[in-house]
Amino acid sequence: MQTPYNTPGALGWHELTSNSCEDAFSFYGAVFGWTFKTMQTSHGPYHIIENEGEKIGGIAPNPCPEQESHWTSYVTVKDVDEVAIKVISLGGELLYGPEDIPEVGRLCWIKDPQGAIIAAITYHKADK
């Protein structure tokens, strides 16, 4: 079955890097009816966004509080390392990774030559 998590080029995961996770829970919970489950990672707490029981994204504390809160989308790819090499060869910038995230997959954050940021990910389990 094709899903955004096993289809190269599909947008599958959306992540908010927030200066106030609690405020984000209140706002997005009221606006969209989302619920949140917190898990601990090696980088600190990570909050899974659920919509009607389906995991659709996450919220993480902003590691750079001087930067505004922002959303990042993740594009599913076959090989994150290949994407990272291609980004650099095309004049983009590798901002983070490639890095393995236990029980999730391998990801990197990239900036295109115009300054827009997006992430690429290869999931360990395509069905999530």
Given a cut of 60, whether residue 11 has pLDDT beyond it is: yes
Q: Average model confidence (pLDDT) for the chain? A: 92
In the chain, which segments carry CATH 3.10.180.10? 14-69, 77-128
Given a cut of 60, whether residue 15 has pLDDT beyond it is: yes
pLDDT at residue 126, rounded to an integer: 53
* Sequence-distant (≥ 6) Cβ neighbours of residue 88 within 8 angstroms: 94
0.85 cut: is pTM over it?
no
Looking at the domain 77-128, which fold is it?
Answer: 2,3-Dihydroxybiphenyl 1,2-Dioxygenase; domain 1 (3.10.180)
Q: Which two tokens stand for residue 84?
A: 């990272």
Looking at the domain 14-69, which fold is it?
Answer: 2,3-Dihydroxybiphenyl 1,2-Dioxygenase; domain 1 (3.10.180)
